[in-house]
Amino acid sequence: MVQITLPDNSVREHGGPVTGLAIAQQISPRLAKDALAIRVNGVLRDLTAPIETDANIEIITTKNDPQTSLELIRHSCAHVMAEAICQLYPDAKLVYGPTVENGFYYDIDLDRPISTDDFPAIEAKMAEIVAADKPFVRYELPLEEAMAKLRAEGNRYKIENAKHAKGDKISFYTTGQREAGSFEDLCLGPHIPSTGKIGGFKIMSIAGAYFHGDAREKMLQRIYGTAFADKKELAQYLERLEEAKKRDHRLLGRQLDLFSFHDEGPGFAFYHPKGMVVWNEMLKYWREVHEKDGYCEISTPIILNEKLWHQSGHWDNYKENMYFVHIDESDYAVKPMNCPGGCLVYKSRPHSYRELPLKMAELGLVHRHEASGVLHGLFRVRRFTQDDAHIYCTPEQIRDEIIGVINLAFDIYKTFGLTEVSLELSTMPEKHIGSVEIWDRATDALKDALSAKKIDYVLNPGDGAFYGPKIDFHVRDCLSRSWQIGTIQLDFSMPERFDMTYVDRSNREERPVMIHRAILGSLDRFFGILIEQYAGAFPAWLAPEQVRVLPISEKTNNFADNVYNRLKAANLRCEIDKADDKINAKIKRAHEMKVPYMLVVGPKEMETDTVTVRIRNQNEQKSLPVNDFIASARKVIAQRSLCLEFSGL
RNA sequence: GCCGAUGUAGCUCAGCUGGUAGAGCACAGCUUUCGUAAAGCUGUGGUCGAGGGUUCGAAUCCCUCCAUCGGCUCCA
């Protein structure tokens, strides 16, 4: 007797082992048709797996569990793709085919390179397999037998995978009934009942990937695909990708004339006048809030003697990423971080406990020699400015200071409208300085602050900086890639190495603790994130051009000039479009440059000293007195509002 | 750095299996003086990423390098 408890707590009794499919059929034929898998006591299983003991079950359909369904479909689709590839290229050795955030991939080892030209053929084969609606059939072998079988097949990757499997049985899945020539793959499962349940799929891209992510291993071919429960969802997804592409900051950077890259300096951004306006507005705001929060600001040199980098530990731990120069018989390094320079400033005079915490900010320009293959627009560059700061404090002050930085960070992110922020705590890496005890103390201090703030975070063991553990702030861009922006790093080692001290209340020399922190992280990267966040349509306070005056015709150019001069006098960033074009063309151009406010002026406006305001991305216009427009726009800008509308109009 | 792809005018792209470069937009001039997402005509503009090779002849085929794109490893 097997008792099956359904999610609504109703109980069904079965005379013996029963499958999920049978249960579904009993409930309704419709459910049996929609069912993709079953969760038995919380464990996901095949619909055809026999349930032998009493259990709580839940039948998975795209309706009641879209996320799990999607993963099942995608994982199964990875098998279908693998089968298609093996049919087309019998030499292909399968490696590993998991699902990822927006689809799945399959790593294969095949000497013939697969190219995008091969995708249609693979997709056609996949379509055949899907149309045949073949069942996924599981069979299990005892560990030893399975290993023998895999050894006979000579696929070292699968042998490796099987070694990592838990338990004493190894499962395989065939597509279609198990018979000679049927496709099969080592796989933990579970799978959807049959290939026909894959609604829409597409092969997306191909890239190289190392086995187990190990650069010493053979480079495999990783084929990315995606799959959905139906074709409509796939189409929507592809549409979203197209939309996201339009937000690409590299594209918008050129379109909006914000910055450029040149062969003469790979990984080094050139900022144009318009880009610098955004940059400077960002910094103006940044300085405002930092000053309010008790920070002072310093600036240290870009090139410093190599000895300093030996002392700081960078030479031992970071030199692969550093640029070196030889000047007047001496060796210098271009700074990859600001901390050693900051330490010298700290040491330039004695300090009292009364000064602590001492919060010294530096908008430091750093250079890091990044591998050529990782460069990516402003997101990954070789020269960038960090909104760095070092907080020198006593051990007792750590917790409050960390909390202070977290608060400041969230405040700043909010101003920019960044809401998808997640935190990660990274602990001691293999390559590190300082004792394990110091690391433990520092890590505990960070955990303390996080739990005091009641913030959820992800733990990243072994991912800390070489001098201390860190809390990282991540935001997601429109392609749902996650980028690290802010970071808080606790450091007990640098103060030792630089013999930094303060005098405590009993006149003893003590060692300060150093907190490295950046909130926007790399200003360059942050700029890129903002461009994508806003799709280039900056809020008024950041917009390089806030207002554009559009005269109807040459006849009203004089009045347009008059308006323009008054805007300028009111410190609004404005341009005037006197081109010999119709108003439609001028509106279109202004929209292309994503100007927040367009002011149409013609004879009507001239008579009443008004402007007709058109707000970016809106179709209605409003006429209002020139002075009223100026006052309203200034208010929106002063408030750093994310929205362009004038309240009360 | 590694794997794969790409590189033609300022931008977006066309140029079949080798015969000596083309469109749209942008830009300039002229006409037009216009009321809310592109007026018309004319014109300027390219050692086809760089260097080497094959060939009577290379944007096109081969090699090397550089850069970019998508990933991997790494990272703010």
State how far the Cα of A647 lies from the Cα of A644, in Å rounded to an integer.
9
Could you tell me the distance in Å between the CA of residue A607 and the C1' of nucleotide B30?
Answer: 32
Q: What is the mean pLDDT of residues A151-155?
A: 86
Task: Kindly tell me the burial class for residue A225, based on how many C-beta atoms sit within 10 Å of its own C-beta (0-12, 13-18, 19 or more).
Answer: buried
pLDDT of A649 > 60? The answer is: no
Helix (H) or strand (E) holding A48: none
Nucleotide with smallest C1' distance to residue A554 CA: B33
Region(s) of chain A under CATH 3.30.980.10: 67-242
State how far the Cα of A355 lies from the Cα of A97, in Å rounded to an integer.
57
A602 CB closer than 7 A to any strand B atom: yes
Residue A62 phi/psi, 5-degree rounding, is -60, -25
CATH code for the part of the protein at A259-531: 3.30.930.10
Q: Which tops the pLDDT comparison, A245 or A601? A: A601
pLDDT at A150: 87
pLDDT at A119: 87
Range of lowest pLDDT (A120-124, A299-303, A331-335, A583-587): A120-124
pLDDT at A480: 64
Range of lowest pLDDT (A436-450, A507-521, A539-553): A436-450
Q: Which tops the pLDDT comparison, A186 or A352? A: A352
CATH of A67-242, one of 3.40.50.720, 3.40.50.2030, 3.40.50.170, 3.30.980.10: 3.30.980.10
As a whole number of angstroms, the longest Cα–Cα distance in chain A is 93
| Catalytic status, residue A339 | yes
The model's confidence at residue A404, banded by pLDDT at 50, 70 and 90, is very high
Could you tell me the distance in Å between the CA of residue A174 and the C1' of nucleotide B3?
Answer: 30
Region(s) of chain A under CATH 3.30.930.10: 259-531
A462 CB closer than 7 A to any strand B atom: no
Range of lowest pLDDT (A41-55, A286-300, A469-483): A469-483
pLDDT of A274 > 90? The answer is: yes
Condensed to tens digits (0 to 9), the pLDDT of residues A410-438 reads: 999 999 998 888 899 999 888 888 888 88
pLDDT at A648: 55
pLDDT at A2: 86
pLDDT at A479: 60
Nucleic strand B contacts from chain A, 486-545, CB < 7 Å: 487, 518, 521-522, 524-525
The pTM of the full predicted model, rounded to 2 decimals, is 0.90
> Which of A544, A541, A530, A523 shows the shortest CA–CA distance to A636?
A541
Residue carrying structure tokens 């929507």: A236
| Catalytic status, residue A376 | no
List all residues 6 or more positions away from A605 whose beta carbon is below 8 Å from its beta carbon.
A556, A559, A611, A612, A623
From A387, A388, A472, A577, the catalytic residue:
A388
Distance set, CA A56 to CA A3, A8, A33, A71, A418 (Å): 9, 10, 21, 22, 41
CB atoms within 10 A of CB A283: 16
Mean per-residue pLDDT of chain A: 91
Residue carrying structure tokens 């800390």: A464
State how far the Cα of A219 lies from the Cα of A221, in Å rounded to an integer.
7
Residue carrying structure tokens 């990822």: A100
pLDDT at A161: 84
Q: What is the mean pLDDT of residues A546-566?
A: 95
State how far the Cα of A48 lies from the Cα of A43, in Å rounded to an integer.
14
The model's confidence at residue A77, banded by pLDDT at 50, 70 and 90, is very high
Nucleotide with smallest C1' distance to residue A251 CA: B11
pLDDT of A293 > 60? The answer is: yes
Strand B positions within 7 A of protein Cβ atoms: 1-5, 11-12, 27, 30-39, 66-76
| Closest residue (Cα, C1') to B68 | A263
Q: What is the mean pLDDT of residues A37-49?
A: 92
Distance of alpha carbon A579 from the chain centroid? 42
pLDDT of A166 > 80? The answer is: no
Hey, what CATH topology would domain A547-638 get?
Rossmann fold (3.40.50)
Judge whether A471 and A457 are in contact, CB under 8 Å.
yes
Beta bridge partners of A551: A601
pLDDT of A476 > 90? The answer is: no
Helix (H) or strand (E) holding A401: helix A398-415
> Which of A603, A638, A595 shows the shortest CA–CA distance to A623?
A603
A253 CB closer than 7 A to any strand B atom: no
Q: Which tops the pLDDT comparison, A166 or A546? A: A546
pLDDT at A196: 93
Judge whether A133 and A195 are in contact, CB under 8 Å.
yes
List all residues 6 or more positions away from A22 whose beta carbon is below 8 Å from its beta carbon.
A14
pLDDT at A515: 95
Q: What is the mean pLDDT of residues A631-643?
A: 96
**End-to-end CA, chain A:** 73
Region(s) of chain A under CATH 3.40.50.800: 547-638
From A290, A368, A380, A517, the catalytic residue:
A368
| Catalytic status, residue A386 | yes
State how far the Cα of A404 lies from the Cα of A357, in Å rounded to an integer.
11
> Which of A65, A17, A69, A48 shows the shortest CA–CA distance to A136?
A48
Could you tell me the distance in Å between the CA of residue A220 and the C1' of nucleotide B73?
Answer: 13
State how far the Cα of A365 lies from the Cα of A369, in Å rounded to an integer.
14
Residue carrying structure tokens 């001028």: A586
> Which of A209, A211, A158 shows the shortest CA–CA distance to A184?
A158
Residue carrying structure tokens 């005079």: A349
State how far the Cα of A573 lies from the Cα of A565, in Å rounded to an integer.
11
A584 CB closer than 7 A to any strand B atom: yes
pLDDT of A307 > 60? The answer is: yes
CB atoms within 10 A of CB A536: 22
pLDDT at A460: 87
pLDDT of A271 > 70? The answer is: yes
Judge whether A353 and A504 are in contact, CB under 8 Å.
yes
Distance set, CA A1 to CA A17, A19, A21, A51 (Å): 8, 14, 18, 11
SS3 A485: strand
Judge whether A521 and A487 are in contact, CB under 8 Å.
yes
pLDDT of A483 > 90? The answer is: no
Nucleotide with smallest C1' distance to residue A204 CA: B70
Helix (H) or strand (E) holding A190: none
pLDDT at A239: 82
Judge whether A383 and A267 are in contact, CB under 8 Å.
yes
Range of lowest pLDDT (A22-36, A170-184, A364-378, A531-545): A170-184
Judge whether A130 and A79 are in contact, CB under 8 Å.
no
The model's confidence at residue A593, banded by pLDDT at 50, 70 and 90, is very high
Condensed to tens digits (0 to 9), the pLDDT of residues A90-115 reads: 888 999 889 988 899 999 998 887 88
The model's confidence at residue A176, banded by pLDDT at 50, 70 and 90, is confident
SS3 A464: coil
State how far the Cα of A308 lies from the Cα of A314, in Å rounded to an integer.
9
pLDDT of A3 > 70? The answer is: yes
pLDDT of A46 > 90? The answer is: yes
DSSP-assigned letter for residue A419: -
DSSP-assigned letter for residue A349: S
From A191, A197, A367, A470, the catalytic residue:
A470
Residue A191 phi/psi, 5-degree rounding, is -125, 165
pLDDT of A205 > 80? The answer is: yes
Nucleic strand B contacts from chain A, 168-207, CB < 7 Å: 205-207
Q: In CATH, what is the architecture of A2-57?
A: Roll (3.10)
Instruction: Take residue A353 and report the two structure tokens written for it.
Output: 């406990």
pLDDT at A236: 86
Condensed to tens digits (0 to 9), the pLDDT of residues A373-399 reads: 999 999 999 999 999 999 999 988 999
| Catalytic status, residue A431 | no
> Which of A383, A392, A359 shows the shortest CA–CA distance to A302?
A383
Read out DSSP for A591-617? HHTT-SEEEEE-HHHHHHTEEEEEETT
